[in-house]
Amino acid sequence: MQDQVKIIAILWIIFGSLSLVAGFFVFLILIGVSLIPEIGTVAPGVLRIVGIALSSFFAILGLPKIIGGIGLLKRQEWARILILVISFLSLFNIPLGTALGIYSIIVLLNKDTVKSFETAPRGN
Protein backbone atom coordinates (compact mmCIF):
# COMPACT_ATOMS: atom_id res chain seq x y z
CA MET A 1 0.00 0.00 0.00
CA GLN A 2 2.91 2.37 0.62
CA ASP A 3 3.79 2.44 -3.07
CA GLN A 4 0.17 3.09 -4.02
CA VAL A 5 -0.03 6.04 -1.63
CA LYS A 6 3.10 7.46 -3.24
CA ILE A 7 1.58 6.98 -6.71
CA ILE A 8 -1.62 8.72 -5.58
CA ALA A 9 0.38 11.61 -4.15
CA ILE A 10 2.32 12.08 -7.39
CA LEU A 11 -0.85 11.85 -9.48
CA TRP A 12 -2.60 14.51 -7.36
CA ILE A 13 0.43 16.79 -7.65
CA ILE A 14 0.35 16.36 -11.44
CA PHE A 15 -3.43 16.86 -11.57
CA GLY A 16 -3.17 20.04 -9.49
CA SER A 17 -0.30 21.30 -11.62
CA LEU A 18 -2.41 20.79 -14.73
CA SER A 19 -5.09 23.01 -13.15
CA LEU A 20 -2.51 25.72 -12.55
CA VAL A 21 -1.20 25.44 -16.10
CA ALA A 22 -4.76 25.60 -17.50
CA GLY A 23 -5.44 28.70 -15.42
CA PHE A 24 -2.25 30.32 -16.68
CA PHE A 25 -3.13 29.64 -20.32
CA VAL A 26 -6.69 30.93 -19.87
CA PHE A 27 -5.24 34.06 -18.32
CA LEU A 28 -2.76 34.54 -21.17
CA ILE A 29 -5.36 33.95 -23.89
CA LEU A 30 -8.00 36.28 -22.44
CA ILE A 31 -5.52 39.03 -21.58
CA GLY A 32 -3.98 38.65 -25.04
CA VAL A 33 -7.36 38.94 -26.73
CA SER A 34 -8.15 42.02 -24.64
CA LEU A 35 -5.07 43.74 -26.12
CA ILE A 36 -6.42 43.58 -29.68
CA PRO A 37 -6.90 47.21 -30.76
CA GLU A 38 -10.12 46.79 -32.80
CA ILE A 39 -12.03 44.99 -30.05
CA GLY A 40 -13.88 48.05 -28.73
CA THR A 41 -13.92 49.90 -25.44
CA VAL A 42 -15.91 47.67 -23.06
CA ALA A 43 -14.71 44.23 -24.14
CA PRO A 44 -11.07 44.56 -22.97
CA GLY A 45 -12.12 45.31 -19.41
CA VAL A 46 -14.59 42.44 -19.36
CA LEU A 47 -12.03 40.03 -20.82
CA ARG A 48 -9.44 41.04 -18.24
CA ILE A 49 -11.89 40.56 -15.37
CA VAL A 50 -12.99 37.16 -16.72
CA GLY A 51 -9.37 36.14 -17.29
CA ILE A 52 -8.36 37.02 -13.74
CA ALA A 53 -11.47 35.34 -12.30
CA LEU A 54 -11.05 32.10 -14.27
CA SER A 55 -7.33 31.83 -13.63
CA SER A 56 -7.94 32.43 -9.91
CA PHE A 57 -10.63 29.76 -9.95
CA PHE A 58 -8.27 27.24 -11.55
CA ALA A 59 -5.57 28.14 -9.00
CA ILE A 60 -8.02 27.68 -6.12
CA LEU A 61 -8.87 24.25 -7.52
CA GLY A 62 -5.27 23.22 -8.15
CA LEU A 63 -3.44 24.36 -5.03
CA PRO A 64 -5.19 22.04 -2.53
CA LYS A 65 -4.41 19.08 -4.79
CA ILE A 66 -0.72 19.97 -4.86
CA ILE A 67 -0.58 20.67 -1.13
CA GLY A 68 -2.42 17.41 -0.35
CA GLY A 69 -0.13 15.43 -2.63
CA ILE A 70 2.97 16.84 -0.96
CA GLY A 71 1.45 16.07 2.44
CA LEU A 72 0.76 12.49 1.35
CA LEU A 73 4.39 12.08 0.33
CA LYS A 74 5.33 13.19 3.87
CA ARG A 75 2.80 10.73 5.38
CA GLN A 76 0.68 13.41 7.07
CA GLU A 77 -2.78 12.42 8.35
CA TRP A 78 -4.28 15.81 7.45
CA ALA A 79 -3.19 15.26 3.85
CA ARG A 80 -4.96 11.89 3.74
CA ILE A 81 -8.18 13.58 4.90
CA LEU A 82 -7.71 16.47 2.44
CA ILE A 83 -7.13 14.13 -0.50
CA LEU A 84 -10.16 12.05 0.51
CA VAL A 85 -12.35 15.19 0.43
CA ILE A 86 -10.86 16.26 -2.90
CA SER A 87 -11.34 12.71 -4.22
CA PHE A 88 -15.04 12.75 -3.37
CA LEU A 89 -15.44 16.15 -5.05
CA SER A 90 -13.50 15.07 -8.14
CA LEU A 91 -15.83 12.13 -8.81
CA PHE A 92 -17.87 14.56 -10.94
CA ASN A 93 -14.82 15.44 -13.06
CA ILE A 94 -15.27 12.78 -15.75
CA PRO A 95 -13.13 10.80 -16.80
CA LEU A 96 -9.75 11.57 -15.16
CA GLY A 97 -11.06 13.01 -11.91
CA THR A 98 -13.46 10.11 -11.51
CA ALA A 99 -10.76 7.50 -12.05
CA LEU A 100 -8.24 9.19 -9.76
CA GLY A 101 -10.94 9.86 -7.16
CA ILE A 102 -12.09 6.24 -7.04
CA TYR A 103 -8.51 4.96 -6.90
CA SER A 104 -7.63 7.41 -4.12
CA ILE A 105 -10.72 6.58 -2.07
CA ILE A 106 -10.09 2.84 -2.32
CA VAL A 107 -6.43 3.11 -1.32
CA LEU A 108 -6.74 5.82 1.35
CA LEU A 109 -9.67 4.12 3.13
CA ASN A 110 -7.87 0.77 3.22
CA LYS A 111 -7.25 -0.47 6.79
CA ASP A 112 -3.51 -0.90 6.22
CA THR A 113 -3.19 2.62 4.84
CA VAL A 114 -5.10 4.14 7.75
CA LYS A 115 -2.87 2.28 10.22
CA SER A 116 0.28 3.41 8.43
CA PHE A 117 -0.81 7.04 8.66
CA GLU A 118 -1.71 6.67 12.35
CA THR A 119 1.70 5.23 13.15
CA ALA A 120 3.63 7.62 10.90
CA PRO A 121 6.05 9.89 12.75
CA ARG A 122 4.70 13.40 13.36
CA GLY A 123 6.60 16.49 12.39
CA ASN A 124 7.94 17.81 9.07
* Cβ-contact 4, 109 below 8 angstroms: no
* Cβ-contact 56, 99 below 8 angstroms: no
Beta carbons within 8 Å of 14's beta carbon, 6+ residues apart: none
Q: How far apart are CA 59 and CA 44, in angstroms?
A: 22
Q: Which among 99, 27, 37 is positioned nearest to 59, based on CA atoms?
A: 27
Residue 122, pLDDT > 90, answer no
Beta carbons within 8 Å of 23's beta carbon, 6+ residues apart: 54, 55, 56, 57, 58, 59, 62
Q: Looking at residue 124, what DSSP letter applies? A: -
Residue 121, pLDDT > 80, answer no
Q: How far apart are CA 109 and CA 106, in angstroms?
A: 6
- pLDDT tens-digit series, residues 69-104: 999 999 999 999 999 999 999 999 989 999 999 999
Q: Looking at residue 122, what DSSP letter applies? A: P
Instruction: Map out the domains of the chain as residue ranges.
Output: 2-118
- Total-model pTM: 0.88
How confident is the model at residue 101, as a pLDDT? 96
